[in-house]
Amino acid sequence: MTAPFAVLWDHAHVWGLLLCRGLAALGAACRPVTCAEVAAGGLASHPPRALLVPGGFSRPKFAALGGAGQRAVRDYVAGGGNYFGVCGGCGLALSHEAGLGLCDWTRRPFADRLEHLASGHVRLRGDAASPYLPAELPEDFQAPVWWPAGFVPPPGAGNGAGAAVVAAYAGPGEDFMLADIALGAMPGALLGACQERFGLTLAPAFLDGGACVIAGAFGHGRYVLSHAHLETPDSPQANAWLAHLLGLFDPGGEIAGRLVPAWHPAKETRLFADVHLEAARRDIESVIAAGIEARLLMRRSDWLLGWRPGMPGFSLSNLSALLAGASALPPTEAAVAYWRQAGPDFAQRAAAFARRLEVFFPAQRLEITLSLVERQAGADPGLAAERRELFGASPGGGGLCGELAATLDALLLRLLS
């Protein structure tokens, strides 16, 4: 029996859940591994087929690994291991002050903040000679990205040196969004007129030939870094690509699927039927409904919200997905023991969080309206302070919402282990 794939769990949130779900759909055995386990020598004592690092923010992952964990990941790959990083997992592998230096490329800075708010399917053009691409993909294919950064090669890098570009951006797909603007569905003439009127290029610069997926060697091992989220539910070409990569990392194994099915969290059977989880799910869904009613949030898919810029849409989407994911997994002894202690307090905090948001969203809507109608009306500093308390500093992921997500992350770790 081959070793399972290891999913680096810390600060993975919905992206770790989706990756584990995708691996299960493709028939690939996996286990979550914490940064503390890595630092304690877990990759050396139980080498995985590959270390898979989901999306999310890379800096907290780097900090959680600490010096010992950072060295352990480098040693694992240098000794012949495989590293697959998705989005935030890319940033962790690159060469910068909070990167592991597996790849000598670095992160591409953004020309402006709007450029980062890109999500949905993008068109890609792959290197037909690359072993990291499945042969059945057409020359021009699509895969989803969720708020990606970019890659920059080191100065003077030439052909054959360092990383190779596996796939490059070739433009937006039909469901591509720039913040809350449906850029992919906008007719070319209208897009051109808007760009001329506002004096800016709406389409992010990286969509014009920038690298989306790169691969290379580190010591005796290799890495594949993908800003495309190949684990995204019901994205056939991306899912087939993920299955192909898993097959390369585990040539002696058997990948049983090529598609990650659509995810409908509300329709899944509750295998962990817990009163505290159910109460929190009702509270968070009530909050989301309030945000939608205030026209600050929208349903983008069954598992992901859309939102107006500046709104805490992803934080709430993440919280809702983690609750649904935990409810749909069979309880383990470790999870039940943990939740017996954490569950009651979590439900109380989730309820208090929800009651505050049910007031916050109408107040936020009113602030926006007054700023347009009453020119002397400015931003309410009290509302901005409350937003920071609830969700942390931009781009989010902290505050009271972040504390709730961290509790659910710990529960999911025990459910998936």
How does pLDDT run across 59-86, given as a tens digit for each residue?
A: 999 999 999 999 999 999 999 999 999 9
Structure tokens at 292: 């939608």
Closest CA to 328 of 411, 412, 270: 270
Helices (H) and strands (E) in the chain, counts: 12, 14
Closest CA to 30 of 14, 10, 47, 6: 6
Number of Cβ atoms within 10 Å of the Cβ of 180 = 15
* Per-residue pLDDT at 155 exceeds 90: no
**Whole-number pLDDT of residue 378:** 59
Place of tokens 């080498």: 47
* pLDDT band, residue 354 (cuts 50/70/90): very high
Contact between 328 and 265 (Cβ < 8 Å): yes
* pTM recorded for the entire structure: 0.94
Kind plus residue range of the DSSP H or E element containing 381: helix 381-391
What's the residue count for the chain?
Answer: 417
* Per-residue pLDDT at 352 exceeds 60: yes
Number of Cβ atoms within 10 Å of the Cβ of 299 = 12
C-alpha 90/C-alpha 368 separation (Å) is: 36
DSSP 188-223: HHHHHHHHHHHTS--S-GGGTT-EEEEEEEETTEEE
For residue range 89-136, list pLDDT tens digits in order.
999 999 999 999 999 999 887 666 677 788 999 999 999 999 999 999
Average pLDDT score, the chain: 91
* Per-residue pLDDT at 382 exceeds 50: yes
Closest CA to 303 of 350, 268, 276: 268
**Whole-number pLDDT of residue 200:** 66
**Whole-number pLDDT of residue 77:** 98
Surface-to-core class of residue 29, CB atoms within 10 Å of its CB (0-12 exposed, 13-18 middle, 19+ buried): middle
- Mean pLDDT within 183-205: 78
Kind plus residue range of the DSSP H or E element containing 403: helix 399-416
Name the DSSP class of 375: T
- Mean pLDDT within 329-355: 97
* Per-residue pLDDT at 159 exceeds 60: no
Number of Cβ atoms within 10 Å of the Cβ of 107 = 17
Contact between 223 and 196 (Cβ < 8 Å): no
* pLDDT band, residue 160 (cuts 50/70/90): very low
Closest CA to 3 of 39, 21, 28: 28
Beta strand segments in 118-176, E: 118-126, 140-146, 151-152, 164-172
- Mean pLDDT within 163-188: 89
Q: Which residue has the higher pLDDT, 25 or 187?
A: 25
Closest CA to 319 of 399, 373, 201, 262: 399
- Mean pLDDT within 145-166: 79
b/e map 157-173, b = 16+ CB within 10 Å = eeeeeebbbbbbbbbbb
C-alpha 390/C-alpha 399 separation (Å) is: 5
Structure tokens at 350: 């989730």
For residue range 238-297, list pLDDT tens digits in order.
999 999 999 999 988 889 889 999 999 999 999 999 999 999 999 999 999 999 999 999
**Whole-number pLDDT of residue 347:** 98
* pLDDT band, residue 379 (cuts 50/70/90): low
For residue range 207-243, list pLDDT tens digits in order.
888 999 999 999 999 999 999 999 999 999 999 999 9
C-alpha 186/C-alpha 24 separation (Å) is: 36
* Per-residue pLDDT at 199 exceeds 80: no
* Per-residue pLDDT at 161 exceeds 70: no
Per the omega criterion (within 30 degrees of 0), is the bond before 154 cis?
A: no
Surface-to-core class of residue 329, CB atoms within 10 Å of its CB (0-12 exposed, 13-18 middle, 19+ buried): buried
Give residues with Cβ within 8 angstroms of 25, minimum separation 6. 239, 257, 259, 260, 261
Give residues with Cβ within 8 angstroms of 386, minimum separation 6. 356, 360
Using DSSP's 3-state secondary structure scheme, residue 85 falls into strand
**Whole-number pLDDT of residue 186:** 80
Which of 160-169, 195-204, 322-331 bottoms out in mean pLDDT, i.e. has the lowest? 195-204
Which of 42-46, 122-126, 184-188, 334-338 bottoms out in mean pLDDT, i.e. has the lowest? 184-188
Contact between 216 and 222 (Cβ < 8 Å): yes
**Whole-number pLDDT of residue 374:** 66
C-alpha 30/C-alpha 19 separation (Å) is: 10
**Whole-number pLDDT of residue 215:** 97
Alpha-carbon torsion angle 384, 386, 388, 390, nearest 10:
-140
